[in-house]
Structure 1
Amino acid sequence: MIKVLLVDDHAVVRMGLSVLLNNVPEMEVVGEASEGNEGIEKALETKPDVVLMDLSMPHGKDGLSATSELKKQLPDTSILILTMHDDEEYLFRAIQAGASGCVLKSAPHQELIEAIKSVCKGNAYLHPAATKRLMDEYLDNIKQDGSDRYQLLSDREKEVLTLIAKGYSNKEIGEKLVISVKTVESHKSNLMEKLQMKTRPELVSYALKKGLLGYGM
Structure 2
Amino acid sequence: MIRIALIDDHPVVRAGIVALLDTAADIEVVGQGHDADSALELVRREAPDVVLMDLHLGAGPGGIEATRALRALPNPPQVLVLTTYDTESDILKSLDAGALGYLLKDTPPAQLFEAVRSVARGETVLAPVVAATLVKRSSNPMPQITAREVDVLELLAQGKSNKEIAKALFVSEGTVKSHLAHIYTKLNTDTRAGAVAEAIARRIIRRA
Query: What's the counterpart of residue 183 of structure 1?
Result: none
**Identity rate, percent:** 36
Query: Displaced runs of 4+ in structure 1, greater than 4 A?
Result: none
Q: By how many angstroms is 1:60 displaced?
A: 3.1
Matched, 1:49 2:49: yes
Q: Distance in 2 between matches of 1:74 and 1:121?
A: 18
Counterpart of 2:47, as a letter, is: K
Q: Distance in 2 between matches of 1:35 and 1:6?
A: 10
Query: What's the counterpart of residue 155 of structure 2?
Result: none
Query: What's the counterpart of residue 14 of structure 1?
Result: 14
Counterpart of 1:112, as a letter, is: L
Equivalent residues of 2:3, 2:49 under 8 A apart: yes
Structure with greater helix share of residues: 1
5+ residue gaps in structure 2? 144-208
Equivalent residues of 2:7, 2:51 under 8 A apart: yes
Tell me the TM-score normalized by structure 1: 0.63
Equivalent residues of 1:7, 1:53 under 8 A apart: yes
Q: What does 1:42-121 correspond to in 2, within 5 Å?
A: 42-121=42-121
Kindly provide the CA deviation profile for residues 166-200 of structure 1, in whole angstroms up to 9, marking residues without a partner as x: xxxxxxxxxxxxxxxxxxxxxxxxxxxxxxxxxxx
Kindly provide the CA deviation profile for residues 100-129 of structure 1, in whole angstroms up to 9, marking residues without a partner as x: 111101211112111111111101110111
Q: Greater Rg, structure 1 or structure 2?
A: 1
Q: By how many angstroms is 1:2 displaced?
A: 0.2
CA distance 1:75–1:125, shift in 2 (3 Å)? farther
Tell me the TM-score normalized by structure 2: 0.66
Kindly provide the CA deviation profile for residues 133-155 of structure 1, in whole angstroms up to 9, marking residues without a partner as x: 11121122xx347xxxxxxxxxx
Let me know the Cα RMSD of the aligned residues: 1.4
Q: By how many angstroms is 1:76 displaced?
A: 4.1
Q: Distance in 2 between matches of 1:123 and 1:70?
A: 18
Q: By how many angstroms is 1:74 displaced?
A: 4.7
Query: What's the counterpart of residue 39 of structure 1?
Result: 39
